[in-house]
């Protein structure tokens, strides 16, 4: 790290710190979720009778937001468009890095499609976030249960998206390509703890700074629902209360 310039040194420290907070925070949350006692069956009915059925029910919620679709279709549209767009944008980011690296800087022709794909789905993501934000302001029942952190995460995600779109829209393609090349080297060396200088492109630095803030914030936010849903008793429990009745051992002993 001795050969890094000051800006790169700061961002290397921030990157390691953000991912350390993310990993430790997620592991800690999983431990807390796993240790939370759930002695009584409380599945949301109608519920599957078997554990396999309950497992696929959770997968249905993860991939299709089935309960949200049944309860509020307009919110489902906004939320689903956001999550699908986010997933595609994340895949696009990963492909831009690894495809370029895999072909040693001479990627195939389809590689050039990744930028417009990112632009299209980044725009969809921004539109869906704006919709979800104003929904919290103007829908009275949603506004009533919203807290500051709900608005903060939506604003942060919007800023990240705007900064990312600005990289594509407000700078020459050559500058964007130069940042990609430098970024490949930065992340490759970062993973083996031999960091090199980060791209000094201001559009990228703004985007990356906001992403690091999001990464560090995830364990403390409602974004942890992507882990918590697998521990939700109302979704993950099968409905076998008749076959396996709950008995309080202490009460049973006193009764006997």
Residue 183: give its domain's CATH number. 1.20.950.20
Instruction: Count up the domains in the chain and report the number.
Output: 1
Residue 242 lies in a domain: no
pLDDT tens-digit readout, 100-130: 778 877 888 888 899 999 999 999 999 999 9
Q: What percent of the chain has pLDDT over 90?
A: 62
More confident residue, 156 or 231: 156
pLDDT of residue 129: 98
Question: Per-residue pLDDT averaged across 37-53, rounded?
Answer: 82
**CB count in 10 Å sphere of residue 184:** 17
Residue 1 lies in a domain: no
More confident residue, 105 or 145: 145
pLDDT of residue 154: 97
pLDDT of residue 44: 78
Question: Per-residue pLDDT averaged across 209-236, rounded?
Answer: 93
How far is it, in rounded angstroms, from Cα 47 to Cα 238?
6
How far is it, in rounded angstroms, from Cα 85 to Cα 121?
5
Residue 60 lies in a domain: yes
Residue 233 lies in a domain: no
Range of the domain at 132: 6-40+53-226
Residue 207 lies in a domain: yes
Question: Per-residue pLDDT averaged across 39-56, rounded?
Answer: 83
Residue 234 lies in a domain: no
Residue 102 lies in a domain: yes
Q: Residue 212 pLDDT more than 90?
A: yes
pLDDT of residue 247: 65
Residue 240 lies in a domain: no
């Amino acid at each position: 790290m001795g050969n890094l310039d000051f800006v790169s040194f700061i961002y290397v420290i921030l990157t390691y710190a953000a991912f350390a907070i993310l990993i430790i925070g997620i592991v800690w949350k999983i431990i807390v979720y796993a240790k939370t006692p759930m002695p009584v069956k409380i599945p949301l009915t109608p519920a599957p009778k078997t554990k396999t059925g309950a497992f696929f029910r959770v997968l249905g919620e993860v991939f299709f937001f089935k309960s949200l679709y049944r309860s509020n279709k307009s919110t489902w549209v906004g939320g689903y468009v956001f999550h699908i767009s986010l997933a595609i944008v994340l895949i696009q980011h990963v492909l831009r890095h690894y495809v370029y690296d895999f072909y040693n800087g001479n990627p195939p022709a389809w590689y050039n499609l990744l930028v417009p794909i990112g632009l299209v789905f980044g725009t969809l993501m921004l539109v869906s976030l704006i919709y979800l934000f104003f929904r919290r302001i103007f829908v009275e029942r949603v506004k009533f249960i919203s807290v500051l952190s709900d608005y903060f995460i939506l604003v942060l995600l919007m800023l990240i998206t705007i900064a990312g779109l600005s990289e594509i829209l407000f700078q020459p393609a050559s500058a964007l390509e130069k940042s990609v090349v430098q970024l490949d080297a930065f992340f490759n060396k970062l993973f083996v703890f031999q960091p090199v200088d980060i791209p000094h492109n201001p559009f990228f630095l703004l985007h990356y700074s906001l992403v690091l803030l999001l990464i560090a914030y995830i364990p403390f936010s409602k974004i942890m629902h992507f882990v918590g849903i697998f521990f939700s008793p109302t979704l993950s429990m099968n409905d076998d209360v008749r076959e396996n009745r709950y008995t309080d051992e202490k009460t049973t002993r006193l009764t006997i």
